[in-house]
């Protein structure tokens, strides 16, 4: 594994690129226009595509030999040990409808292990970031997960277009047995950042994509939290169902999910 000073160039590039993209997002947010529907039923805007091109160009200019996995374009596969995960605009639906909860996310893995993660939330001007083994930060200030095990607040995401009954049962049981408050923000990146900084006590997602969680899950772990799949096993960016928590309520949530 590389040392921190060898992470610095990766991290600096990711921070600079997310913040540049965030400025564009805010400019476009004031004048948001139309969208198109992708084959999977999700929405995409010109801003998504514009940011995707900007971020990929920034990364490939610096590291042309690396792989890239982005939400809005074909994978770049250079058979590298390094893969960048990009979500140019996580929370596109929020962006379209004028709800200011969205983020830009960039993460980097080395030999399939996440090593750098950055999430920039432009509306509140916060950049969350982490390098594996060196803690998590927001705007230069170290952050940590909450210490609550009672009166907890959890964020949740799930598409109800399939397996609706099972998903609603999980939501019902979490509310009844594990938490006092439930929030659905529509952005995994934002929710995970809020877990890392102690705003939320956990985030549970029943349908997720690699570029949605790659950065945020690393930031949660580096903030002292715990991330697993629904069976308590290790997560990877390709895990479709995840729990990210402060660790104190993790087993309680696992018990509900396995019921």
Over the range 217-236, which residues count as b (16 or more CB within 10 Å of their CB) and which as e?
Answer: bbbbbbbbbbbbbbeeeebb
Architecture of domain 153-257: 3-Layer(aba) Sandwich (3.40)
Token code pair at residue 13: 């590039």
pLDDT string in tens for the chain (259-residue length): 455 566 889 999 999 999 999 999 999 997 766 788 887 777 788 999 999 999 999 999 999 999 999 988 889 999 999 999 999 999 999 999 999 999 999 999 999 899 999 999 999 999 999 999 999 999 999 999 999 998 889 888 766 556 666 667 766 766 666 666 888 899 999 999 999 999 999 999 888 899 999 999 999 999 999 999 999 999 999 998 999 999 999 998 898 877 6
Task: Kindly give, in sequence order, each residue whose CB lies less than 8 Å from that of residue 104, ignoring residues fewer than 6 positions away.
Answer: 18, 21, 22, 25, 51, 55, 87, 88, 89, 90, 119, 120, 122, 189
Distance CA 100, CA 97 (A): 9
Per-residue model confidence (pLDDT) at position 1: 44
pTM equals: 0.92
DSSP character string of 214-241: HHHHHHHHHTT-EEEETTSPPP-TT-SS
DSSP state of 115: E
Q: Which CATH superfamily is domain 4-142 in?
A: Fructose-1,6-Bisphosphatase, subunit A, domain 1 (3.30.540.10)
Q: Where are the domains of the chain?
A: 4-142, 153-257
Taking CA atoms, 33 is separated from 44, 48, 95, 122, 183, in Å, by 11, 12, 10, 19, 27
Token code pair at residue 192: 């995970």
Per-residue model confidence (pLDDT) at position 36: 82
């Amino acid at each position: 594994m590389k040392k921190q000073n060898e992470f610095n160039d990766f991290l600096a590039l990711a921070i600079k690129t997310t913040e540049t993209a965030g400025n564009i997002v805010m400019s476009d947010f004031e004048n948001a226009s139309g969208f198109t529907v992708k084959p999977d039923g999700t929405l995409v805007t010109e801003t998504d595509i514009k940011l995707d091109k900007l971020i990929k160009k920034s990364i490939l200019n610096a590291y042309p030999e690396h792989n890239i996995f982005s939400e809005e374009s074909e994978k770049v596969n250079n058979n590298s040990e390094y893969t960048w995960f990009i979500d140019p605009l996580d929370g596109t639906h929020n962006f379209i409808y004028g709800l200011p909860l969205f983020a830009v996310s960039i993460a980097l893995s080395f030999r399939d292990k996440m090593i750098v993660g950055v999430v920039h939330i432009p509306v509140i001007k916060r950049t969350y970031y982490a390098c594996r083994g060196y803690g998590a930060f927001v705007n230069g200030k170290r952050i940590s997960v909450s210490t609550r095990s009672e009166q907890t607040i959890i964020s949740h995401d799930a598409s109800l277009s399939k397996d609706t009954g099972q998903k609603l049962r999980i939501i019902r049981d979490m509310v009844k047995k594990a938490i006092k408050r439930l929030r659905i923000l529509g952005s995994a990146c934002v929710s995970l950042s809020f877990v890392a900084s102690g705003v939320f006590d956990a985030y549970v997602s029943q349908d997720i994509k690699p570029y949605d969680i790659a950065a945020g899950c690393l930031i949660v772990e580096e903030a002292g939290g715990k991330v697993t799949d629904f069976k308590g096993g290790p997560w990877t960016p390709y895990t479709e169902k995840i729990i990210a928590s402060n660790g104190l309520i993790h087993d309680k949530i696992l018990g509900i999910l396995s019921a």
